[in-house]
A = this chain, B = another copy of it.
Amino acid sequence: MTDFCPIPEVGKHGAFLEKVVELLFKNVVFTTRQDKVLLWQTPEELEEQFDFSLSQNGESQEKLISLLKNTIKFSVKTGHPYFVNQLFSGLDPYGLAGQWLTDALNASVYTYEVAPVFTLMETHVIKEVCRMIGPQWGDGLFCPGGSFGNGTAISLARYHRYPDVKKKGTNHLPRLVVFASEECHYSIFKFSAFLGIGEGNVVLVSTDEVGQLIPSDLEGKLDQQIAEGAVPIIVVATLGTTVRGAFDPINEIADICKRRDKHRAKLNGIERADSIVVNPHKLLAVPQQCSMLLVRSEGILHDCFSKGAEYLFQKDKHYDRSYDLGDKYLQCGRKCDVFKFWLMWKAKGSSGFASHIDTLMDSAEYFEQQANNRPDFMMVSRRQYMNVCFWYLPRYLRGKTNILEHGSQLGKVAPQIRAVMIRHGSVMLAYQPLKQLPNFFRFVSQNSSLTRKDIDFILDHISEIGDALFK
């Protein structure tokens, strides 16, 4: 037996794995507010302080443990309540337990025989989520991220309109166009390019002052594209946009699509969509990665993506081949993403997820109220979801009637405050510009242990840094 040894030996590897688990419990899983969110190092500094090198010979277990300690030391604690930088945060103990078990079993979910429990579990969870959407729903996939889910949905829309695209490609087709709001996620562009549709054929529909797609603009642009000979294949609606958390009006969008007898794209009216991408690894705090693509039509995934590889999906199996999920996926080998989600659901029930969302909505409301009560904060647009988008106003910008006239000054504020917070390692809070709006902060938390006291601290912290920077 070589030193490589993929069957861990209890003696040699057991002690190592136990030390690793102890380290994770002590320094990652059970973080407290007293810990820093991150220990900022520039890329150049980190290159000097961390031994990334790989060599001919292996390292001792002691050295490895010290490397693990350094990895933790220099990594961002995304489970910390003051990590409000992305649309994911929090570390759920049941999600983590599910993930660790998934890793230890190291299954690949393509055929029933190789992953029996996870195969049936995917079917159950997809059915349950479909049931929540509407009676005619449908089927679904677990995807390596929401971007991939969006791309897959666009490809299904194209296949639905032109089923021979699977075999013949798009070469003989007219120009296809994809519609989405100008505040849509950038994956719509990336995957339209990847699919051969082209970024230039993503038609952006204008949004209103809170970030919602404007139906009349969609209608006008649909007519214009059709008049130019293009074929619209999908209208992408977003329920909770990335930056502002805006909800596109699905019912109105569906009505417009219906009137044109074209494809209908997408929590009011969601059942009218033909495909939906939902990311439990975001709002629901399921560990990375856990994204789902759901489709109304039960057979379309298999019809569009199947290939029937005989080394996996043999025709003479000793059980019903319809239990093998693999052929409705674009991937072959595929990590099991369902178990951690299922375990969290089982542990908390639907009501646990609901109260998680209630808590987060309360936090967002509290954040907004408190910020509105302070002279140094200003809302960017009306809050519709958990995203609170706001500017910090230096003293010399307070009380101005039209703040956008001072856009170039205002746009410099958030990056500077953020840089100080990151160097302190105190809070990670995202900022970005949007359309004509200069850089602003976006507060969104998926961590339901964030308290009102935490929110007060974050607001005070921004004020203090702002006061010190902009006298």
Contacts and interface: CB of A to CB of B under 8 A. Distances in A.
A28 to B, nearest CB: 4
The 8 lowest CB-CB distance pairs between A and B, nearest first, are A6-B90, A169-B198, A196-B196, A144-B144, A318-B419, A311-B432, A13-B93, A4-B356
Interface stretch (A171-179, A246-254, A267-275): A171-179
**Number of identical protomers:** 2
B309 A186 contact: yes
A316 interface: yes
Interface string A164-191: 0111111101111000000001110111
A67 B346 contact: yes
Indicate the member of A100, A336, A352 with the most B CB atoms within 10 Å: A100
B199 A167 contact: yes
Contacts of A200: 167-169
Given A310-B433, A349-B56, A4 B359 contact: yes
A8 B91 contact: yes
Interface in A135-173: 144-148, 151, 155, 158, 165-171, 173
B145 A447 contact: no
A468 interface: no
Given A193-B165, A348-B58, A447-B6, A104 B64 contact: no
Contacts of A158: 196
A92 interface: yes
A68 interface: yes
8 contacts: A10-B30, A17-B97, A43-B319, A106-B287, A311-B430, A314-B432, A314-B433, A317-B415
A55 interface: yes
Nearest to A145: B331
Given A21-B21, A75-B116, A449-B1, A94 B346 contact: no
B116 A332 contact: no
Contacts of A343: 64, 67-68
A17 to B, nearest CB: 6
Contacts of A147: 330-333
Contacts of A312: 432
Contacts of A431: 314
Interface core residue of A94, A112, A119, A433 (most chain B CB under 10 Å): A94
Contact of A104 (B91, B144, B189): B91
A343 B51 CA distance: 11
A437 B332 CA distance: 23
A93 B190 contact: no
A59 interface: yes
A310 B185 CA distance: 11
Given A64-B346, A71-B105, 10 more contacts: A17-B29, A29-B104, A47-B120, A54-B124, A71-B117, A144-B148, A165-B193, A167-B199, A169-B193, A289-B333
Interface in A3-28: 3-10, 13-14, 16-18, 20-21, 24-25, 28
Max count, chain B CB within 10 A of own CB: residue among A196, A331, A339? A196
| Most interface-central of A1, A96, A192 (chain B CB within 10 A) | A96
Interface stretch (A76-84, A213-221, A366-374, A393-401): A76-84
A334 interface: yes
A114 B76 contact: yes
Given A21-B21, A104-B91, A194-B195, A58 B14 contact: no
Contacts of A113: 38, 76, 85, 422, 428
